[in-house]
Amino acid sequence: MATTDQTPTLRADARRNREKLLAAAVDVFSSEGTDVPLERIAKQAGVGIGTLYRHFPTREALVEATYRNEVALVCEAADELLAEHDPGDALALWMDRYVTYASAKRGMKGALHSMTGSASSELFTQSRADITAAIAKLVDAGVAAKTIRPDVSPDDILLATGSIWNGLDDPDWEDRARRLLGLVMDGLRYGA
């Protein structure tokens, strides 16, 4: 799991419990939304409800931490993928992880907006900046390797990937989102 600058330094067992809670929360929130009993998340994580409340004193704190963690994971994936794959493949694999991030966010969307008040909040502004920076690493590496066309910017790619947010409630949403991002990748490779 990723850690953010807002994550306190924890003992190893407490850190593992926090990671298990965040993993369980993203799983439950993405499939059922954020109104589920928090006991369900604690049970899925294999910890007691007291442990959940020690780490996340409110539902809102859990939702925000879960969202921040998912953003951190998708951003960290850029470096991990570049270390293991050629830049063109790394970007394609990153886009697949971006769909996973979007899937996790869809169950939290309503709660996040009610907590922050708007899509232009600090939380979303920072998340967009972090994701754009991750895309920039991938694009720069792809342009340098001549596997990605040089006339695109990270903002272009973020805008092009915006189509995956349409139809989040459709049962075949993830498959369709991956197909759309495959088309985006074809366009990014064209003429490289």
Q: Classify domain 8-57 by CATH number.
A: 1.10.10.60
What is the mean predicted confidence (pLDDT) over 90-105? 86
In the chain, residues under CATH classification 1.10.357.10 are 64-189
Between 162 and 87, where is the model more confident? 87
In the prediction, which pLDDT does 90 show?
A: 95
By C-alpha distance, which of 58, 36, 55 is closest to 47? Answer: 55
CA distance 81 to 83: 5
The pTM of the full predicted model, rounded to 2 decimals, is 0.82
What is the mean predicted confidence (pLDDT) over 146-174? 82
In the prediction, which pLDDT does 20 show?
A: 95
The string of pLDDT tens digits covering residues 27-72 is 998 888 888 999 999 999 999 999 999 999 999 999 999 989 999 9
* Reported confidence tier of residue 101, pLDDT bands at 50, 70, 90: confident
Q: What is the mean pLDDT of the chain?
A: 86
Secondary structure (DSSP) of 130-185: HHHHHHHHHHHHHHHTTSS-TT--HHHHHHHHGGGGTTTTSTTHHHHHHHHHHHHH
In the prediction, which pLDDT does 46 show?
A: 95
In the prediction, which pLDDT does 118 show?
A: 54
Tokens of 121: 């909040």
* Number of other CB atoms surrounding residue 17 within 10 Å: 21
91-95, 125-129, 188-192: range with lowest mean pLDDT: 188-192
CA distance 123 to 117: 10
In the prediction, which pLDDT does 73 show?
A: 93
What is the mean predicted confidence (pLDDT) over 165-191? 80
Reply yes or no on whether the pLDDT at 130 is more than 70: yes
Q: Does domain 64-189 have CATH number 3.40.30.10?
A: no
Between 190 and 57, where is the model more confident? 57
